[in-house]
Structure 1
Amino acid sequence: MTSTLRRAGGFAAVGTLALAAPELGRAAAAPFAIVALLAAFVIDEGPVFDLFARPQDRRDGRLNGLAGFSLAATGLAILATAPRESMPTGVFVAAVLVVAYGNVGARAVERLWSDPGRSVAGFSTVAFLAAAAGQVLVAMALGRTPTPASVVFLAAAGALVAALLRSMLYERDDPIVMLSTGLLLWLFDVIGVDAGIVNVGVALAVTVALGYVSYRTGTASVPGMVTGVLLGLLTIVFGGIGWFAILIAFFGIGGLSAKYRYEEKSERGVAEDNEGARGSGNVLGNAAVALVAVIGFAASSNMQLDPALFQFAFTGSLAAAMSDTLSSEIGVLFGEPRLITTLERVEPGTDGGVTWQGYAVGVVGAAIVAAVAVIGFTFDAPALAALTVVAGGVAGMTVDSVLGATLEGGRVGNQTVNFLGTLGGAVTSAVLAVLVL
């Protein structure tokens, strides 16, 4: 039986074919297409089959994993050689190498440690190095001078995106991871990186350090840690320090609130699972709108939109997330909650149940976000801007509670409700900014 590390090495060797793209030009997809055909219809035994076969491949008698991997690379290669609006060759190579070599790093670490955090670190580190090296080699082959900041940012973003998707999916879903990573890196490349290499390097170091602390202190699970690091990196690079300060205020205070009197909340049956550690779903449910807002801010000049609207959408969404988090984590410790739609008494932890203490703490949470925003951003009317953010936070918290009382449960989960609540906060703040400021 082939070891998982040797198999990962075989996939890495196939992925390295991407480096031939500058020489092959329009035929860059050919090597991967040939490998896909051989894997799907020709190779069903022998040493090559033994090297690449996963357990399910052995049962099927066909190298489905290698075929899927190669087809995904073929698709990206076609996008990279399209006549118009093609994906940059460096992005194509980075996406393929991130998955191919990242798995080698993960498997190598897993042979020494069983800690999932170290496995993700191994994947991300090797994927980052491979993607960075691939971009530099491609640029040199094309006679171009690579931009260090862009190379580091795209390599880091690609490694984090792939690590996140890999932690949420299955091993056989490498094709989905590769395609998704390639498309997102293409988007990031189109937006462009205005920050210098020092700023990008500092941003990466700071977000990784904070992610490690969040994982080790138990405020984030492994997927939650990776999601937080990715969000932090994109926020600093596309937004700036002021944007990141708001994001980190939410994650820091929100994470601590989940730990606050955790044993008491556990006894009352209202504590978060996994000892309060945030998972990727929780992080994305609360911060997906903010992520879209910061990317929209970076791309606003291309879309001819007012960048200030995205500022208020960003702060309003995180004010709503902060309000809802604090009202939920702290409000459950006081009194008997009432259902927000009928005001009837309900059991603690009931979806849509609120207490006046929790609502008051939620307003304080929105005010904290507003204060950080006023410090980090330059507003013409700081007081009105702060009130706009607070209003967005309270509106989003209210939307979250109403949806929790009316829709949550069954097909509509907590993460969806959180997303809609933060969307309500973003829209409220943005609309008020247009009307008032």
Structure 2
Amino acid sequence: MTSRIRRAGAFALVALLSLGAPILGAATAVPFAAIGVAAAVLIDDGPLFELFARPGDRQDGRLNGLAGFGFAAAGLALLLALPQAALPAEIFVAALLVLGFGNLGTEAVRTRSNNPFLAVAGFVAGGVPAAIAGQAAVTVAVDEAIAWSAVIFLAVIGALIAALLRELLYERDDPVVVLSVGLASWFVAALVGSVPTPELIAAVVVTVVLGGISYGLGTANVSGMLTGILLGVLTIVLGGFGWFAVLIAFFAIGGLASKFRYDRKAARGVAEDNDGARGMSNVLANSGVALLAVIAAAAGELVEPAAIVSLAVPFAFAGSLATALGDTLSSEIGCLYDRPRLITTFERVDPGTDGAVTWQGELAGVVGIGIISALSAATLPLSPSGSTAGLAAAIVAVGGLVGITTDSVLGATLEGDRLGNQLVNLSATLTGGVVSVALAVALL
């Protein structure tokens, strides 16, 4: 057994202390805080130090990683004592076990391979079963029936969030991951009611398979793949498979467009970085508004007036994704053609110039907007009676057109020194969503 696996196993054992939460409540913070103090000021040598020490710990002469993990767990445990809306014990346990046993799974994989995809798979394979078992143990301890769909859902969501954060941050920033996973899972659990187990399993299987395919085809890197899977699961559970159909249409068509004639784009100096693989920032910039719309759809059932929310939210979702796909296709196709013009002055500029457009790119963008508009009208609750489906699709299309025009104008005027590309994309998709909502409220 390597030292890395022994260390990961020791951290997993520490995480098991969270199982005392159903009995101890907020007092669970005490053993974790004691571990944090001991790691920070008491243990500086000997077998225990060598077991938990990471490379940087040896240089500092203290167990920084273990101290951070202990203090973060203690802080999260204190939320178990909130007077009116305490953190559920099962979420606390799931957050700790996902990280502890997920790290162990990652290290087990790394004894055989350094492939980043397999390392993430090892993390999920280790974290999800541990979180499921931990939540089940908590439920049994308080003498309640186990809601398997909720247990599985929280384990999967927690593992995906943790894996994504570890990919984006320094892998050993466990305090940030522990707190983020616990708080994010708590928020999602508040939105999600009972999820049928078959539907949940189907959501996980479909999104994981499609995420793996996107990584295999090179249309997404590891962080982009994890973000896409997380968005997919949330969209299916909070919205439904109709909403997911629109989202996956954007991901699939947009991803393939980024790989279309990539060598020629690279030769012209207009290709996306990383061989066209999309990362987390790109995914969120284009689909962040859609994610907020899905969350709003779930939250709308809990607030009044629900009727306004039920009308506005699907149009915000559809309008933002119509903009995202339209912009992606217009950029990825348009950059292949010469003699583009700047949208603000119509002067000739070099291919790849921010805010430059070609008629071929604009046509491709219109096609993308049309695909999302038609699919949205068919699968989303844009027109409950069905009599105004054509008008609903037209509203989404107009929102998409305004959105991609906004993207080009911002690119020509503000992108570069003032705004980054991702912020421009986010602004454009927000514009497309807002315009679609405004037209829907006015015309429907």
> Same fold, TM exceeding 0.5?
yes
Distance 1:241 1:279 in 2: 24
1:14-163 equivalences under 5 Å are 14-163=14-163
Aligned length: 437
Distance 2:3 2:352 in 1: 47
Q: CA RMSD in A?
A: 1.4
1:285-304 equivalences under 5 Å are 285-304=285-304
Task: Among all aligned residue pairs of Structure 1 and Structure 2, give the percentage whose two residues are the same amino acid.
Answer: 55
- What secondary structure does 2:231 align onto? helix
* Structure 2 residue aligned with 1:319: 322
1:365-424 CA deviation, whole Å, 9 max, x = no partner? Answer: 111001111111241411111011111111111121122222222463211111111111
- Aligned counterpart in structure 1 of residue 396 of structure 2, from 389, 412, 416: 389
Contact 2:221 2:277 in 1 (8 A): yes
Distance 2:171 2:277 in 1: 24
Q: Residue 2 of structure 1: CA displacement?
A: 7.0
* Structure 1 residue aligned with 2:338: 335
Distance 1:411 1:103 in 2: 39
Contact 1:193 1:237 in 2 (8 A): no
1:132-281 equivalences under 5 Å are 132-281=132-281
Q: Residue 302 of structure 1: CA displacement?
A: 1.4
Contact 1:218 1:275 in 2 (8 A): yes
1:19-66 CA deviation, whole Å, 9 max, x = no partner? Answer: 011121231211111111111111111111111111111111111111
* Structure 1 residue aligned with 2:411: 404
- What secondary structure does 1:350 align onto? coil
Contact 1:149 1:193 in 2 (8 A): no
Q: Residue 214 of structure 1: CA displacement?
A: 0.9
Q: Does 1:414 align with 2:421?
A: yes
1:345-364 equivalences under 5 Å are 345-364=348-367
Contact 2:373 2:393 in 1 (8 A): yes
**Structure 1 residues 411 and 63, CA, compared in 2 at 3 Å: closer, same or farther?**
farther
Paired letter, 1:42: L
Distance 1:114 1:335 in 2: 42
* Structure 2 residue aligned with 1:425: 432
User: 72-81 or 2-11, which moves further after superposition?
Assistant: 2-11
Contact 2:68 2:175 in 1 (8 A): yes
* Structure 2 residue aligned with 1:12: 12
Paired letter, 1:340: I
1:76-127 CA deviation, whole Å, 9 max, x = no partner? Answer: 1111222221111111111111111111111110111111100000001111
5+ residue gaps, structure 1: none
Contact 1:193 1:238 in 2 (8 A): no
Distance 1:360 1:286 in 2: 20
1:265-315 CA deviation, whole Å, 9 max, x = no partner? Answer: 111111111211111111111111111110110110212242221111111
Contact 1:246 1:372 in 2 (8 A): yes
TM-score, normalization by structure 1: 0.97
Q: Residue 13 of structure 1: CA displacement?
A: 0.9
Contact 2:337 2:351 in 1 (8 A): no
Paired letter, 1:237: V
Distance 1:198 1:58 in 2: 48
- What secondary structure does 2:328 align onto? helix
TM-score, normalization by structure 2: 0.96
**Structure 1 residues 26 and 176, CA, compared in 2 at 3 Å: closer, same or farther?**
closer
Structure 1 moving runs of 4+ over 4 Å: none
Q: Residue 198 of structure 1: CA displacement?
A: 0.5
**Structure 1 residues 87 and 366, CA, compared in 2 at 3 Å: closer, same or farther?**
same
Paired letter, 2:269: G
User: 212-221 or 374-383, which moves further after superposition?
Assistant: 374-383
Q: Residue 16 of structure 1: CA displacement?
A: 0.8
Contact 1:294 1:310 in 2 (8 A): yes
Contact 1:239 1:298 in 2 (8 A): yes
Distance 2:389 2:292 in 1: 24
Distance 2:97 2:123 in 1: 11
Contact 2:203 2:236 in 1 (8 A): yes
Paired letter, 2:295: I
Paired letter, 1:331: G
Contact 2:43 2:63 in 1 (8 A): yes
